């Protein structure tokens, strides 16, 4: 499995952009980068994913470096409801085939400050 | 709206009893489901992977006879915690993936809090 490393915590002022970095230096060519977030006592919520191109949806933007060894999740205008733990993961293929299992690192605890 | 639904959201059971948690995929066929547990202030820990119609694959250190997983249909997987003990108290989360899942990605249930007294 490609491992990811994220800063344990970050603060962001409400209304400002939150930029959450993730390193995945051992990522394989066919592995995607996914971002999820987990608000306290809830299941993880899907945010966005990408392979090598930058991606944008209604929630966030994902910037992946050209060498794919790192990425940044951007929340353009953070609100208090964006306070959560953000997980950057890469998908791996089990040897026996089938859908890849997903393992989580420790994530980044984002605190949006009023 | 929810793509994956878990039930119950929370449950309290007595030591020595068994408790079942259901995970349902809504609007798509989940050929693969994953079960996680999460202790307070910790990350999600993968327990097992289940493919519809076959036996679950358990992660190292997870007792398959204690955590029974059944994935009998393409929309339902169940986790049964047998002979529960207080140390089994945790937040259990399922996720599902399959053809037709929106964005071809993995979605998670809302989680189930288990308290064993």
Question: What does the block give as tokens for A6?
Answer: 């994220």
Residue A95 exposed, middle or buried by CB count within 10 Å (0-12, 13-18, 19+): exposed
Question: What does the block give as tokens for B12?
Answer: 């309290």
The set of residues, in sequence order, having a beta carbon less than 8 Å from that of A51 and lying 6+ positions away, is A32, A33, A64
8 A C-beta contact, residue A12 and residue A39: no
pLDDT tens digits, A62-107: 999 999 999 999 999 999 999 999 999 987 644 444 566 778 888 9
| pLDDT tens-digit profile, chain B (117 residues) | 568 999 999 999 999 999 999 999 988 888 889 999 999 989 999 999 988 888 899 999 999 999 999 988 889 999 999 999 999 999 999 998 876 666 667 889 999 999 999
pLDDT at A94: 40
pLDDT at A31: 84
Largest interatomic CA distance in chain B: 41
8 A C-beta contact, residue B45 and residue B36: yes
φ/ψ region of B61 (left if φ > 0, alpha if ψ in -120 to 50, else beta) reads left
Rounded CA-CA distance B80/B85 in Å is 13
Per the CB < 8 Å rule, is B49 touching A36? no
Torsion of CA B91, A92, A67, A104, to 10 degrees: 10
Name the interface residues of B facing A (CB cutoff 8 Å).
4, 6, 31-32, 34, 36, 43-46, 49, 51, 57, 91, 93, 95, 97-98, 103, 105-111, 113
pLDDT at A93: 45
- For residue A51, pLDDT over 60 is answered with yes
Question: What does the block give as tokens for A113?
Answer: 């400050």
How far from B12 is each of A15, A112, B3, B18, B117, CA to CA, in Å?
40, 33, 25, 11, 7
Rounded CA-CA distance B65/B55 in Å is 12
pLDDT at A84: 97
Of A10, A12, A9, A8, the residue nearest A114 (C-alpha): A12
pLDDT tens digits, A25-47: 989 888 889 999 999 889 999 99
Per the CB < 8 Å rule, is A102 touching B113? no
Per the CB < 8 Å rule, is B108 touching A98? no
Task: Provide the edge-to-edge strand list for the sheet that holds A45-50.
Answer: A9-13, A108-113, A84-90, A33-38, A45-50
Shortest Cα distance, chain B CAs vs residue A100, angstroms: 9
pLDDT at B6: 95
Rounded CA-CA distance B94/B111 in Å is 7
Rounded CA-CA distance A13/B91 in Å is 30
pLDDT at A97: 44
């Amino acid at each position: 499995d490609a491992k990811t490393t994220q800063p344990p915590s970050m603060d962001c002022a409400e209304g400002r952009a939150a930029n959450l970095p993730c390193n995945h230096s051992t990522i394989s060519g066919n592995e995607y980068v996914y971002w999820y977030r987990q608000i306290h006592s809830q299941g993880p919520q899907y945010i966005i994913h990408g392979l090598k191109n930058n991606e944008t949806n209604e929630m966030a933007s994902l910037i992946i470096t050209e060498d794919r060894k790192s990425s940044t999740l951007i929340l353009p205008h953070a609100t208090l409801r964006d306070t959560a733990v953000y997980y950057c993961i890469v998908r791996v293929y089990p040897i026996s085939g089938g859908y890849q299992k997903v393992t989580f690192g420790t994530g980044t605890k984002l605190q949006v400050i009023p | 709206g929810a793509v994956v639904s878990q039930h119950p959201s929370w449950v309290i059971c007595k030591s020595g009893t068994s408790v079942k948690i259901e995970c349902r995929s809504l609007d798509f066929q989940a050929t693969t489901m994953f079960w996680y547990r999460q202790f307070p202030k910790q990350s999600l820990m993968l327990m097992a992977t289940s493919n519809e119609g076959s036996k679950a694959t358990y992660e190292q250190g997870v007792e398959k006879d204690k955590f029974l997983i059944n994935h009998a249909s393409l929309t339902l997987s169940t986790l049964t915690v047998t002979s529960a003990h207080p140390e089994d108290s945790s937040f259990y989360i399922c996720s599902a993936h399959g053809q037709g899942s929106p964005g071809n990605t993995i979605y998670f249930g809302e989680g189930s809090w288990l308290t064993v007294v």
